[in-house]
Structure 1
Amino acid sequence: MSELFPRIYPHVDVLLEAELKSTEEDFQVTEMLPFTPSGTGSHYWFFIEKRGLNTQEVAKRLAQLAGIPVRDVGYAGMKDRHAITRQSFSVPVQAGTTPDWLSLESENLHFLEMTRHDRKLRRGVLKGNHFRLVLRHCQGEPALWETRLQHLQKTGFPNYFGAQRFGHRNLQEVSRLLSGTARKMDRHQRGLLLSAARSALFNQVLAERVRQNNWNVLLAGEIVQLNGSHSIFLAQANEQENLQQRSAEWDVHPSGPLPGRGGLSPENQAALVEKQALDALPEESETLGNIRHWPQQLAAQDVDAARRALRARPDSLQYHWQDASTLILEFSLPAGVFATSCIEALLGHEQVRADRLDLCVD
């Protein structure tokens, strides 16, 4: 079991079918930072292209060559192993050492840029990601594909965490961690598991909003998130009309919970929907324990509560047919949004399973 329940998408009259990630070249991701390194400072900054390697493996190689703990290597987000990905890393300059960085070059790892900056690259310091995807064996009339792509760009898609976030047995390990019976693990592994738990609970709430067909509108008592920001606020009744207009303009979004301690809580209808979704979780699961207790157990792990937009949409979408059954897509997504969820919304159904993927693309 990789996830709690399937991701569901808004109803479409015709389901589309295609094959994603036939090869690493079919799934290409390029990270977009919100600024450009200064060129001077106490940290090396690298823009690296990798394939067949996940982010942590590259960080370990950089750390080993530099003779530093891997925790000192900076990167903005995790990237999939089974893809061609381009992302930035930072390594602190060690006095008296000049590592031969190019000695790490291989058929799976290439340095595209090397520069310096005055500080470490921190997690989450990311504008977004640009994707080039190849969909093969597409079934359906090209005109229908193009209509759906135009609709997707206009109305967006449910902002699910993709199957990558859950791995093969992450949620089973989560249950052990939250119950205090987990094996010893390092900080990185613990963080991945806690993130998987919060992502699963968010997806459960979002799926309920999709079922009720209110995932892309503001409900009474909604916790509203500003577009392109982590800033949130409680929607007041006297602001509802204005907020609905801002939502239509994609200036604000409805949000769902990333459970933990503290934080704002929704009210009225929005609170009821979240409660319904989380109360639908089983009290006892053979493999996952009492999932209903996960929000309280996450708070006990000193994880701070947060919110995530329920919807997203592709930016700068371009597409063309390579041949009658091969569609090439290019688009950008905000940080933390999964391209696989975008493609599933295009198809109209869940398609990507965790056993085909490795890590999240943040």
Structure 2
Amino acid sequence: MRDDIHWPPEWPRALDARFGIPVAGGYRACAEDFVVEECLDFAPEGQGEHLWLWVEKRNAATSDVARQLALQCEVGSRDIGYAGMKDRVAVTRQWFSVHLPGREAPEDLVEGLTERGFKVLNMTRHPRKLKRGVHRGNRFTLRLNGAVTQDESLEQRWQAIVAEGVPNYFGPQRFGSDGRNLFRARDLLARGWRKRDDREGMLLSAARSFLFNAQLAERLVAGQWRTVLNGDVMMLDGTQSMFAVEAQDSELQQRLISGDIHPTAVLWGQGGSRAMGDAEQLEQKALACWPGLCNGLERAAVKASRRALRVRPSEGLLQRDADGVTLEFTLPSGAFATAVLRELMSHPTLDFDTLPDARAAEQGMNGEPQ
């Protein structure tokens, strides 16, 4: 069955009822307006079989750095590790690892990377490869421009975001320009997914992300995206630990308000949803519209998992100056800065209308495809 997907989707924002539709604005006018720094919970040990490099890149993909490292170190792509994909049109700093057992790094490694515009800020050793998704999160420094910088309600919106969080939507980067990755995913899943047609799992990720966003939108419409429901599966803040709610109570709701726990929705696959009761009914209401995507993901043997419906930026700062507004905040791995920006201002890319350049951002930004 070919699910009837309309693009762009009309997924609601959380703050419109309180503040109205946000004022138009701009972001990412240049790479320096979008700075991302990876945050780990540990430091390399200084010894081991893997060479770790702390690399700054500008207007380049994470995969570009990985390929260059493999080429210069004469290793295969599987010998290169990184925690997550970072934006292309941005200045980003992140760790990479190269498996070099019993070998020193090539003498011209730093020089070769520098020639291609990649700056090596630190280089050390560690016993293990850098695995996907092990980073705690990402620190963003974003520069806004346009009419939004004169919006008198901007500070109020920002305070509400920091206090209450935002809907944890997968960003438009996940779906490609004009939703093309999603349409490709739909057609591939209808035929039967094969790894040779989707080697990096990008299309599987697009389908699962779309279904998650649809469930989140359903909870927003119902006014229950920040409410504990009977049958909810809650996630502890800052972890992947979850527990089921048999019956809602005031203590659980207070923990949600404080940011200690978050409701979740299913990332569809084999095994289905762990939710029950009222929470399951809302999930099924959203998923019933997309039987082709759901069935195709099950046939592709993707294992079901869950993702928090809400994300709260931490260490948030908003600063005005004569030329614009600067935002600083940290998000956990897998969360999208565009989900924060979408609640602050209007911009075509934030409402999934289009991407200014199909190369503007990589799939799986700020975390592994799920």
| Partners of 2:28 and 2:34 within 8 A in 1 | yes
Q: 2:12 matched to 1:8?
A: yes
Change in 2 beyond 3 A, CA 1:87/1:98: closer
Change in 2 beyond 3 A, CA 1:113/1:3: farther
Aligned residue number for residue 232 of structure 2: 222
Residue 193 of structure 1 deviates from its aligned partner by 1.5
Mapped to 2, the partners of 1:299 and 1:159 lie a distance apart of 24
Aligned residue number for residue 358 of structure 1: 361
Residue 183 of structure 1 deviates from its aligned partner by 8.3
Letter paired with 2:59: G
| Residues 1-362 of structure 1 aligned to structure 2 (within 5 Å) | 5-10=9-14, 11=16, 12-96=19-103, 98-99=105-106, 100-102=108-110, 103-106=112-115, 108-139=117-148, 141-168=150-177, 169-180=180-191, 185=196, 188-189=199-200, 191-237=201-247, 240-262=249-271, 264-279=273-288, 281=289, 291-323=290-322, 326-347=324-345, 351-352=349-350, 353=352, 354-356=354-356, 357-359=360-362, 360-362=365-367
Residue 96 of structure 1 deviates from its aligned partner by 4.5
Give the aligned length: 349
Letter paired with 1:361: N
| Partners of 1:3 and 1:166 within 8 A in 2 | no
Mapped to 2, the partners of 1:247 and 1:78 lie a distance apart of 30
| Partners of 1:344 and 1:350 within 8 A in 2 | no
Letter paired with 1:302: A
| Partners of 1:260 and 1:304 within 8 A in 2 | yes
Change in 2 beyond 3 A, CA 1:182/1:257: closer
Mapped to 1, the partners of 2:217 and 2:273 lie a distance apart of 21
Residue 295 of structure 1 deviates from its aligned partner by 1.8
Question: What is the alpha-carbon root mean square deviation over aligned residues?
Answer: 2.2
Q: Normalising by structure 2, what TM-score?
A: 0.88
| Partners of 1:227 and 1:250 within 8 A in 2 | yes
Mapped to 1, the partners of 2:102 and 2:198 lie a distance apart of 28
Q: SS of the counterpart of 2:271?
A: coil
Change in 2 beyond 3 A, CA 1:314/1:14: same
Specify every segment of 5 or more residues in structure 2 that has no aligned partner in the other structure, as ranges.
Answer: none
Aligned residue number for residue 285 of structure 1: none
Q: SS of the counterpart of 2:84?
A: coil
Letter paired with 2:100: V
Residue 222 of structure 1 deviates from its aligned partner by 0.6
Letter paired with 1:233: F
Change in 2 beyond 3 A, CA 1:314/1:97: closer
| Partners of 1:31 and 1:128 within 8 A in 2 | yes
Mapped to 1, the partners of 2:32 and 2:103 lie a distance apart of 40
| Partners of 1:2 and 1:171 within 8 A in 2 | no
Change in 2 beyond 3 A, CA 1:49/1:188: farther
Residue 299 of structure 1 deviates from its aligned partner by 2.1
Residue 20 of structure 1 deviates from its aligned partner by 1.0
| Partners of 1:75 and 1:123 within 8 A in 2 | yes
Q: SS of the counterpart of 2:85?
A: coil
Change in 2 beyond 3 A, CA 1:146/1:44: same
Aligned residue number for residue 287 of structure 1: none
Change in 2 beyond 3 A, CA 1:349/1:211: farther
Query: Identity over aligned residues, as a percent?
Result: 39
| Partners of 1:152 and 1:313 within 8 A in 2 | yes
Residue 131 of structure 1 deviates from its aligned partner by 0.3
Residue 106 of structure 1 deviates from its aligned partner by 3.2
Letter paired with 1:67: E
| Partners of 2:25 and 2:347 within 8 A in 1 | no
Deviation string, structure 1 residues 108-165 (Cα, Å, up to 9, x no partner): 3111110100000000101010000000113364541111111111111101000011
Change in 2 beyond 3 A, CA 1:262/1:182: closer
Mapped to 1, the partners of 2:346 and 2:227 lie a distance apart of 20
Residue 180 of structure 1 deviates from its aligned partner by 3.2
Specify every segment of 5 or more residues in structure 1 that has no aligned partner in the other structure, as ranges.
Answer: 282-290
Letter paired with 2:184: E
Residue 56 of structure 1 deviates from its aligned partner by 1.2
